[in-house]
Structure 1
Amino acid sequence: MMRRGGELPNPGITVRAMRRIVKETYTLPTHHHTYFELLYLTEGRMEVCIRNKTMRAGAGDLLVYFPFEDHTEKVFNGVYAFTWIRFESDLAQSSTSFPAPQQIEPVIHLPWPDRFQQLFDQMILDQQIEDPWSRLILHGHLMVFFGLLQRATRFMQDHQQIGIISTDNSQRIQQILAHIHENLQNDLSIRELASRAVMSESHFSHLFKEFIGVPPRQYFIYARMRKAQNLLLNSKMPIHEIAARVGYEDARYFARTFRRIVGLAPSKFREQGTL
């Protein structure tokens, strides 16, 4: 069986954000890693064969690969963007431990995507800083991630038990998420999204927030800003064109919104060159 990757650099944690255009669907041969590997998809689609099952993953899904766990990945053509986190096994054994294989599915749709993404972004930023406190801070971020993942897993289990998130509802919300990411340049109303989910506006808004952690409109704005971040870093497109690409006719309004969400002006964010 193929093994991909060797030892991780000190302090045993690596976090990266990647985005690319996949021209043709491809399949990676069955392989495993000697460490934990997590992939958080922000754009694109893939399929993974693991634990004797085949599972699909899309935007907002977290793929969890335990050390020495064989898996096969198929990546579909189109935009493919994700954050991956790799860490050594001994870091998973702590007071805030990583869930055991029987406690977590290989593919899970995370609630509260903005909270997870902000944590990943901060991990990437702190990983690039070399000072006496970098190791401690990065380990602290990882412990926060473990705790947040445990909380998210319990949240999903509890809400499934009381019927708030049924399989049918989960599929509907995931379809809405895919629709949002495919239409960031358009103005999507709550009425339109609720109609697509075959729900009343009030029920849809309540269910969306229960499942995702933020209201639909807030998620839509955040998804636009994430798309803008990727375009700023991975293209030479002028800022006013990026604004139009994510649905803002007024570039100045886009810049104000971007600064409010991201904390930097678009030009400054591009200058820093990091997610």
Structure 2
Amino acid sequence: MGKSSILLNTLQFISAKEINETSPNWFKEHRETNYIEILYMQEGCGEFIFEDKPFIGQEGDMIIFNPFSIVVVRTCTGSPLKAISICLLNVPINGNQRLIDSSNHTIIRLQEEKDEIKHYFQTILREYDKKHSGYQDVITSILQTVIIKITRLLKTAGEPSISEMSLKIRKYIEQNFSQELTLNILANLVYVSPYHLAHVFKEEVGLPPIQYLIQCRIQEAKRLLKHSDLSVRDIAAIIGYENPNYFNLLFKKITGSPPGKYRKNRIVGRV
């Protein structure tokens, strides 16, 4: 029988940090460091560049960088990045000090595990910020669970790539989400059929093009509700919805709260 456990007794936690950036000029580098960095994407999306190859991280993704990899991340236009970064040393998995064998980075698009992993990362961040008695032991214990979960996910998750076509459409949507965009319009931009674009884009980005458009609009609506005094009607118009009632219904369907309640809860810190 194979081994049923993974020895993590030398795992060393370094730090935990929340990234919450709205500026389009913000960027972060992971460069020439001897530690592993794991990002959990809480909201929005980030444009990552690894060895001149771009890929996209979005809400619910977990992104891993091995030691000495060179990665730059920028917040996506119209979709501010919010993430938790955890750095650690010494992650021996079957004698290997790297989480990833085939590449210096990987991205795991979480599905049913998303809420569980999010809870782990938020707990680690909270323990690190408060530093109550025994916080290091709590963090190490949770990290061991996270690493084991990652090794399971890596066995079944292939490493996604993003084509020039999907990258062009994604960028176009992020820069023009307030305009009236249809699948036909987007497909014409890259000279393919709407069916082909929808299939490839969903496979590479994780969402169909129109759903990605809606996500960009809702993320911008969240930002405006939190950081401006604009009315819900004005916000709906800004992000591309002429009918504020439809915007209200769509926003509630996606976030669980109507825009007015979302804004109120943000102000009192309950969302």
Alignment-derived partner of residue 99 in structure 2: 100
Identify the match of residue 170 of structure 2 among 169, 177, 199: 177
Alignment-derived partner of residue 199 in structure 2: 206
Contact 1:43-1:58 within 8 A present in 2 as well: yes
Structure 2: runs of 5+ lacking an equivalent: 1-12, 131-137
TM-score, normalisation: structure 2:
0.63
Question: CA 1:271–1:128 in structure 2 vs 1: closer, same or farther (change >3 Å)?
Answer: farther
Contact 2:183-2:210 within 8 A present in 1 as well: yes
Q: Which amino acid aligns with 1:236?
A: D
Per-residue CA deviation, residues 190-227 of structure 1 (Å, 9 max, x unaligned), is 11111112211222222222223333222222222122
**SS state at 1:254 partner:** helix
Identify the match of residue 226 of structure 1 among 200, 219, 243: 219
Counterpart CA distance in 1 for 2:120 and 2:178 is 29
How far off is 1:262 after superposition?
Answer: 0.7
Q: Which amino acid aligns with 1:20?
A: S
Identify the match of residue 248 of structure 2 among 234, 237, 255: 255
Alignment-derived partner of residue 82 in structure 1: 81
Contact 1:111-1:211 within 8 A present in 2 as well: no
Structure 1: runs of 5+ lacking an equivalent: 1-5, 157-164
Alignment-derived partner of residue 235 in structure 2: 242
Counterpart CA distance in 2 for 1:120 and 1:266 is 27
Q: Which amino acid aligns with 1:85?
A: I
How far off is 1:27 after superposition?
Answer: 8.6
Question: CA 1:120–1:21 in structure 2 vs 1: closer, same or farther (change >3 Å)?
Answer: farther
Alignment-derived partner of residue 6 in structure 2: none
Per-residue CA deviation, residues 70-93 of structure 1 (Å, 9 max, x unaligned), is 647486997683233322436966
Question: CA 1:21–1:254 in structure 2 vs 1: closer, same or farther (change >3 Å)?
Answer: same
Counterpart CA distance in 2 for 1:150 and 1:205 is 26
State the aligned residue count: 243
Question: CA 1:185–1:196 in structure 2 vs 1: closer, same or farther (change >3 Å)?
Answer: same
Identify the match of residue 19 of structure 1 among 18, 22, 38: 22
Q: Which amino acid aligns with 1:65?
A: F
Alignment-derived partner of residue 146 in structure 1: 150
Question: CA 1:31–1:104 in structure 2 vs 1: closer, same or farther (change >3 Å)?
Answer: closer
Question: CA 1:250–1:143 in structure 2 vs 1: closer, same or farther (change >3 Å)?
Answer: farther
Counterpart CA distance in 2 for 1:155 and 1:31 is 23
Contact 1:46-1:58 within 8 A present in 2 as well: yes
Q: Which of these two proteins has the greater Rg computed from alpha carbons?
A: 2
How far off is 1:265 after superposition?
Answer: 1.8
Contact 1:43-1:81 within 8 A present in 2 as well: yes
Q: How big is the alpha-carbon RMSD for the aligned residues of Structure 1 and Structure 2?
A: 4.8
Contact 2:69-2:105 within 8 A present in 1 as well: no
Per-residue CA deviation, residues 34-92 of structure 1 (Å, 9 max, x unaligned), is 552437594575756xxxx444456659764335x364748699768323332243696
How far off is 1:177 after superposition?
Answer: 0.9
